[in-house]
Amino acid sequence: MYFDETQLNDHVLDALYDMRFDKCTPIQEKCIPPILEGRDLLGVAQTGTGKTAAYLLPILSKLDDGGYPSDAINCVIMSPTRELAQQIDQAMQGFGYYLSGVSSVAVYGGNDGNRYDQELKSFQMGADVVIATPGRLISHISLGSADLSKVSFFVLDEADRMLDMGFAEDIKMIASKLPSTCQTIMFSATMPDKIEELAKTLLKNPVEVKIAVSKPAEKIKQSAYVCYETQKIGIIKDLFRKGDLNRVIVFSGKKQKVKAINRTLQQMKINSGEMHSDLEQAERDEILYKFKSGQIDVLVATDIVARGIDIDDIAMVINFDVPHDPEDYVHRIGRTARAQRDGIAITFVAEDEIYSFKQIEKFLGREVEKVALPEGLGEAPDYNAAPSKSKNGRARRGRSNNTKEGNAKTNGRGRGRGRIDKNNVPTTDTATVDTTVDNTQTTDAPNKTRKRKPRRKPENSDNTGNERTENKPKRSENANKKYENANKRSENASENGEKPKRNNQQRRRQQQRKPGEEHKQGNRQRTDRKEQQNNKPIASVPAVKQSSALTKILKKPLSWLKSLGKKK
């Protein structure tokens, strides 16, 4: 179907003719007529099929025909990202080139105060088409600068992406500000249950258009490298060493990894740039402009570029990591093979990403070609190996620690590894080994923290001193022999009338001690030392004659002090 066969305005057809757009895509062919009729519409189609023109062309045609207020907002188009909002605004400028009475403004965050003032002026003057992100539009609504009471068209572009980003409540709040007569148009790349629920609440008897739900273009040559995480950089170096670097996008799910990949590429003297949410809006605009204009050969980006960014001549898309959802995989590789061109999509599948990639293959309904690793990178993990469950519940592949060789290598180092007993028999029951070691240590080593029980006299004691010997801890055999020999010597000495021999230290202690004050002797010695130190005179001369330097200066006359300043 050709555009001139539709009921579009002549001014819109003239713009399409200048842009050399003659034939409608399938989504445009089925969406333009019901939108011109004023019906609500739910369109589901893959990325890169021309969904933006499918709703912009009929809306611009109806606005140019007239019958809408000139000082009010007539159309609101919601976008999940700033980049997509900018791209819709650019398409609006091209399709409305010959529409003199239709104005538009893009409203999104991350700008300076001047941009915000321009948005306020556009709302006050009555912009016909407002292309906005949900958060920025809600801020204008809360401040009272945006009046949506006269809106005639409400469009949700990439509705599934907005719901994934958590904009469901924002969309419902914006929709509550719209009049009941507003025509609502919703486009989505996928059709999950939450999109159906949102469509039931917003759309009134809609026309449903579904075309090739979430299937990549047939002209995309898909392949995958099964590798370890440390081998991915080596694969990129090999790819860029062989092929052409023009128009390549490298996707990664984490912005920190995006920064690391870009640094590595720049060290390889590759003209690359990075695109992620940490950049300011001006920096994001500059990077995207340089990539579109060819000043940058390789763009390393997060999924912020995966949807809606229309760059026709992308030659290759590299998934540095496997996306979590199959739909995200389709959107990523959908950046290439646009406008009837060929494209290449390469995915690096790490060991712990094999299960996710198998789910993508199941979603696509076919197996993606696996490419052998370049020479010098080592062996790759087994793609068809059954994952084994680890202690934390995650799937593990490859090495196993249950073999005898693995236990022998550990040699009992650390917990959780195999140990070797005295007989060189590997044992894997680490819990029993640890408990036996702990038990032997507690029995052999004395317990220093245990408190000794108080000595008590046993009942019916004859005060012969036997209670002391009963409560004493058991001695070793050598100690017992020494103790018995000492008792015998003391008994013999007492029988002969001799005093028991004592060493010199015991005699001194006995002489210094006073009856009833043995336990206070150490404390008194300490206090005596302190008193002696406190009572010790500072010097032999009287304290009055000790004059410091300050007192000498104070005794000098004032004239002498003034003379000090005159001396050189």
**Residue 400: band (very low, low, confident or very high) from pLDDT cuts 50, 70, 90:** very low
d(CA 148, CA 163): 22
- Measured in degrees and rounded to the nearest 5, phi and psi for residue 343 equal -155, 165
Give the range among 87-101, 120-134, 199-213, 456-470 with minimum mean pLDDT.
456-470
d(CA 543, CA 550): 16
> Looking at the structure, do residues 307 and 436 belong to the same domain, yes or no?
no
Final residue before a domain boundary, out of 211, 232, 266: 211
CA 533 to chain centre: 64
Q: Which H or E run includes 564?
A: helix 558-566
- Measured in degrees and rounded to the nearest 5, phi and psi for residue 420 equal -120, 125
Beta bridge partners of 130: 76, 105
> Looking at the structure, do residues 305 and 328 belong to the same domain, yes or no?
yes
> Looking at the structure, do residues 51 and 8 belong to the same domain, yes or no?
yes
The b/e string for 311-321 (b: 16+ C-beta within 10 A; e otherwise) is: beebbbbbbbb
- Measured in degrees and rounded to the nearest 5, phi and psi for residue 543 equal -70, -25
> Looking at the structure, do residues 183 and 239 belong to the same domain, yes or no?
no
> Looking at the structure, do residues 136 and 254 belong to the same domain, yes or no?
no
Question: Nearest 5 degrees, angle CA 484-CA 488-CA 490?
Answer: 115
> Looking at the structure, do residues 260 and 185 belong to the same domain, yes or no?
no
d(CA 299, CA 315): 12
The encoded tokens of residue 535 equal 């009572």
- Measured in degrees and rounded to the nearest 5, phi and psi for residue 77 equal -115, 120
Final residue before a domain boundary, out of 161, 191, 211: 211
Number of separate domains in the chain: 3
The CA–CA distances, whole Å, from 513 to 106, 500, 502, 524 equal: 99, 19, 16, 12
pLDDT in tens, 334-345: 888 776 678 899
Residue 477 within a domain: no
The encoded tokens of residue 331 equal 């959107």
Final residue before a domain boundary, out of 356, 371, 395: 395
> Looking at the structure, do residues 350 and 422 belong to the same domain, yes or no?
no
Residue 552 within a domain: no
Residue 521 within a domain: no
pLDDT score for 465: 45
pLDDT score for 349: 95
State the amino acid at position 496 in one-letter form.
Answer: N
> Looking at the structure, do residues 363 and 237 belong to the same domain, yes or no?
yes
pLDDT score for 433: 34
pLDDT score for 76: 96
pLDDT in tens, 234-287: 999 898 887 667 789 999 988 899 999 999 999 988 999 999 888 887 888 899
Residue 532 within a domain: no
d(CA 385, CA 310): 39
d(CA 190, CA 370): 27
**Residue 399: band (very low, low, confident or very high) from pLDDT cuts 50, 70, 90:** very low
Residue 98 within a domain: yes
> Looking at the structure, do residues 188 and 324 belong to the same domain, yes or no?
no
| Higher per-residue confidence, 242 vs 499 | 242
> Looking at the structure, do residues 302 and 381 belong to the same domain, yes or no?
yes
Question: Nearest 5 degrees, angle CA 74-CA 195-CA 38?
Answer: 35
**Residue 429: band (very low, low, confident or very high) from pLDDT cuts 50, 70, 90:** very low
Residue 520 within a domain: no
Domain interval for residue 434:
400-443
> Looking at the structure, do residues 307 and 201 belong to the same domain, yes or no?
no
What CATH number does residue 122 fall under? 3.40.50.300
The encoded tokens of residue 408 equal 């022998």
pLDDT in tens, 122-135: 888 888 999 999 99
Asked if residue 317 lies in contact with residue 249, where contact means CB atoms within 8 angstroms, the answer is yes
pTM of the model: 0.54
Residue 306 within a domain: yes
Asked if residue 159 lies in contact with residue 188, where contact means CB atoms within 8 angstroms, the answer is yes
Residue 73 within a domain: yes
> Looking at the structure, do residues 126 and 254 belong to the same domain, yes or no?
no
Half-sphere exposure of 210 (CA within 13 A, CB side): 7
